[in-house]
Amino acid sequence: ASEAASVARMIDAQTVADLDAGLGLNVNALGAKMGPFYVLVGAHMPAVLVECGFMSNAREATRLASPDYQDLLASAIATAVAHYFNADLAVGNL
C-alpha cells in the first residue's frame, strides 16, 4: 500500500505541475487518497486509480474533452510512473 501511495502522490504532483506549466491552469491539488477500490483489489503490484476531473463541473468536462488536455494528463501520469520506477531502480529495489 505504501508503494501505491507513493506512486499516487507522484502522479498528483506531476499532473498539477504539468497542467499549470503546459496550459497555465491553476489546478487545486486534491491530494492522493487511499481506499479499498474494487478495481484495484487483488493487484500484485502498486496500483492506483486516477481521477482526472469531475464531469459534473462544466469547465472540467470541457477540458476533459480536449485532446490537448488529455495528452497533457497522459504525459504527466506516464512521467510520474517513470520517475517512480527510475527511483526504485536507482536504490536497487528493482
All three cell numbers of 56, joined, read: 459534473
| Residues ≥6 apart with Cβ < 8 Å to 83 | 10, 14
User: Between helices 2-23 and 67-90, what is the axis angle to 10°?
Assistant: 140
pLDDT digits (tens, 9 = 90+) for 2-57: 888 888 999 999 998 998 888 877 777 777 877 777 777 777 778 888 888 889 99
Write down the pLDDT at residue 80: 94
